[in-house]
Structure formats: structure tokens, C-alpha cells
Amino acid sequence: MLIVMETLRLIRVGNCLLTMAAVWLGAYMTWLEPVYLTPTLASVAAFLVCGAGNAINDAVDVEIDRVNKAHRVLVRGGLSVRYAVWLAIILTVLAIGVGAVVNLEVLIVVVVACGLLVAYNLYLKRIPLVGNFVVALLGAMTFVTGGLAIHTTWAWELPGPLIPAAFALFLHIVREIIKDAEDIEADRSAGVCTLPQVVGVRSALMIALGLLFVLILLTYVPVFFGWFGRGYEIIAIYIIDLPMLLLLILIWGNPTQKMLKIGSLALKFSMISGVIALLIG
């Protein structure tokens, strides 16, 4: 039982469940009438990919995590690095198998996502902004995956899963920059070069602020075209966007570890709230 619980912590099961929800939202925004089998399979594949990515991430970053993430499973010795690597391999193989059952397009997305995760953890995370963009792209791909599970053409039409995909892309990049600022000392000691190291914490946060402002403008697009209702506007703009902009300004003015941690958690909450806004809209 203990190994099961530690495995769930290793793959960060909460994040994996959020990934499944993103796939379902993409499917919901694509279908003309409810379809359940293919979105279920696509969401399972996404869960497995997310779990594999988190396992390999912890295996690669175990020394970095010793600095400021002592709660991580591999750092505590709850599971071995060897176990994490084999788990990642098994989950990847299963994800590809499940994706192949859905359709060719979903299979391609799964294979690309797995490849990006490996490249990210072994190399791309050490390139400023490139690693951040890869993480953001993977987050955006989950919504499109849900759409592709329903219809390979409708998935690319507006309004549809491309809307939450675009929102997720910007929101993830902003959060990754803040996390890099929070982890700057641990990354520097491990030889990982991130944007806050190159341009400084406040300059990196200014870039994050600019990206968040672009996101706010994008959230107005569905309102302008009348795609979504008043509920979406209230949640997305007044409950998520504007408070996050204010919080990021406060963090820029006082970029302490505590404030950066609050910002990272708030952005994660914003992702969940964004899903609710789109469902209501």
C-alpha cells in the first residue's frame, strides 16, 4: 500500500487528473452531441503521459530537489530513481498504446508529447525560455487532444479547444517563469540556466507581466465575438485575470520566496478556475 501511495505522489496524481479534465474540456468544446469512449481513452493516455513526465522529471532533478524540495518522494528515499525511470518507461508505452486505439491524430500527439518530455528533461529545460515554452505547449496540447478524440477537423475550428489551448499556453509560460524565479538558487547550483538567471528576477517577472497582459487581451476575444456568455466574462476577466495582474505586480515589487510561492499557487488555481469559466461559458 505504501509503494502505491508513494507512486501516486511521484507522478503527482492531482496534476494528472487536471490533465484528464483538460482533455475532457477539449472534447466538450468540440462535440455536437456527447461522445464518451474516445475522450475517455484520450484522457487516460494524457494521464499516463503526465505521470511519465513527472516521474522522469523527478529522476533527473533529484539532486536539484534536495536543495528546496525535500518533500519529493525520490529525495526522501520513498522510491528509488531506478523505479522512477522504469515507471516512466512503462507509463509511456501504455500511453502510446492507448493513444493508438483512439485515432492516428491522437497517437501522433501522444508520441510528440512523450518525445518533448524526454527532450525537456534531458536538455531543453537548461535553455532559458525554451524549456518554459515546451511545458506550456504540452499543457496546451491536452485541450486539442480532447478535440481530436471527437473530430479531427472540428478540433481546429473556433470557438473550440484552440481557445483554452491558447489560454493555457500563456498561463503556463507565466507560471514557469515564476517557478524559475522561485527555484533560482537550486537551478544555479545544478548548472541549469533559466531566464531569471540571465536577465534577473525582476526583469523576468516583467516579461511574465507582459505575457499575462497579452493573455488578458486574449480572454476578451470570446466576449467580443459573442462566443461565450456573461458567466465566462465574470470568472475569466474579473475573478481570474485582473486579480492575477494585481498579484503579479505586487510580486514584481517584492519578489521574495514567499511571494513567488503564492504567485505559483495562484496561477495553478487560475488554471482550474479557467476550466470552470469555459464550462459555464
DSSP-derived secondary structure for 185-223:
HHHHHTT---HHHHH-HHHHHHHHHHHHHHHHHHHHHHH
Cβ contact 181:255 at 8 Å: yes
Could you give the number of structural domains in the chain?
Answer: 2
Of the given ranges (5-14, 130-139, 199-208, 258-267), which has the lowest mean pLDDT? 258-267
Same domain, 145 and 195: no
Pick from 33-47, 50-64, 171-185, 224-238 the range whose average pLDDT is largest: 33-47
Q: What is the pLDDT of residues 81-99, one digit of tens each?
A: 999 999 999 999 999 999 9
Same domain, 250 and 128: no
Percent pLDDT > 70 in the chain is: 99
Q: What is the CATH number of the domain that holds 243?
A: 1.20.120
Domain that includes residue 99, residue range: 1-156
- Assess whether pLDDT exceeds 80 at residue 128: yes
- Segment 144-166 shows an average pLDDT of 94
pLDDT at residue 273 in the model = 79
d(CA 99, CA 91): 12
Helix axes 104-122, 130-150, angle to 10 degrees: 170
Same domain, 1 and 79: yes
Q: What is the CATH number of the domain that holds 144?
A: 1.10.357.140
Cβ contact 195:241 at 8 Å: no
Same domain, 150 and 163: no
Same domain, 18 and 147: yes
Percent pLDDT > 90 in the chain is: 49
pLDDT at residue 70 in the model = 74
Task: Measure CA 196 to chain center.
Answer: 20
Same domain, 244 and 169: yes
Same domain, 96 and 232: no
Show Cβ contacts of residue 196 under 8 Å, excluding neighbours closer than 6 positions.
177, 180, 181, 184, 204
**44 φ, ψ to 5°?**
-65, -45
Same domain, 139 and 192: no
- Assess whether pLDDT exceeds 70 at residue 11: yes
Which pLDDT band, with edges at 50, 70 and 90, does 259 fall under?
confident
Closest CA to 54 of 11, 113, 114, 116: 11
Which pLDDT band, with edges at 50, 70 and 90, does 270 fall under?
confident
Q: 104 or 3: whose pLDDT is higher?
A: 104
Of the given ranges (103-107, 136-140, 266-270), which has the lowest mean pLDDT? 266-270
Cβ contact 167:281 at 8 Å: no
- Assess whether pLDDT exceeds 90 at residue 107: yes
What is the maximal distance between C-alpha atoms in the chain?
53
* Mean model confidence pLDDT for the chain: 89
Q: What is the pLDDT of residues 42-81, one digit of tens each?
A: 999 999 999 999 999 989 888 777 777 777 888 888 889 9
Same domain, 122 and 185: no
Asked which of 119, 134, 156 is the last residue of a domain, the reply is 156
Asked which of 109, 140, 156 is the last residue of a domain, the reply is 156
Collapsing DSSP states into helix, strand and coil, what is residue 281? coil
- Segment 198-215 shows an average pLDDT of 91
Q: What is the pLDDT of residues 238-251, one digit of tens each?
A: 888 888 889 888 88
Asked which of 101, 123, 156 is the last residue of a domain, the reply is 156
Cell numbers linked to 123: 536538455
Same domain, 4 and 129: yes
Residue 104, class by beta-carbon neighbours within 10 Å (0-12 exposed, 13-18 middle, 19+ buried)? exposed
d(CA 26, CA 28): 5
Collapsing DSSP states into helix, strand and coil, what is residue 70? coil
pLDDT at residue 127 in the model = 87
Same domain, 92 and 141: yes
pLDDT at residue 281 in the model = 65
Same domain, 205 and 271: yes
Show Cβ contacts of residue 164 under 8 Å, excluding neighbours closer than 6 positions.
22, 25, 26, 29, 143, 274, 275, 278
